[in-house]
Amino acid sequence: MPSLSLNRRDPWWESDGPAARRARRRRKLVSTAAFAAAVAAVGASAFAWSIQLGVAATIGIHAALPFG
């Protein structure tokens, strides 16, 4: 059964070779960067929609999108 703890530790970390550890670190870095890019894209999309719908103007952001 998987643990729900945030402090998870791979029990085989010490027995894996340096290439396996490097690959695991790289995979973790790439997945974190992809998640950050996705969150930024959702935020930018929400901001663009708030400008388009006029919601941004109510909080003092007066901008116009170059399309629509």
Q: Where are the domains of the chain?
A: 40-68
Contact 21, 29 (CB under 8 A): no
More confident residue, 40 or 47: 40
pLDDT of 64 over the 60 cut: yes
Q: Mean pLDDT across the chain, nearest whole number?
A: 82
Q: For residue 55, what are its two tokens?
A: 């919601």
Residue 48 has pLDDT above 80, yes or no: yes
Q: Which is higher by pLDDT, 28 or 15?
A: 28
Structure tokens at 21: 């550890």
Please report where in the chains the tokens 């116009």 appear, as a residue: 64
* Over residues 26-34, mean pLDDT: 96
pLDDT mean over 9-24: 81
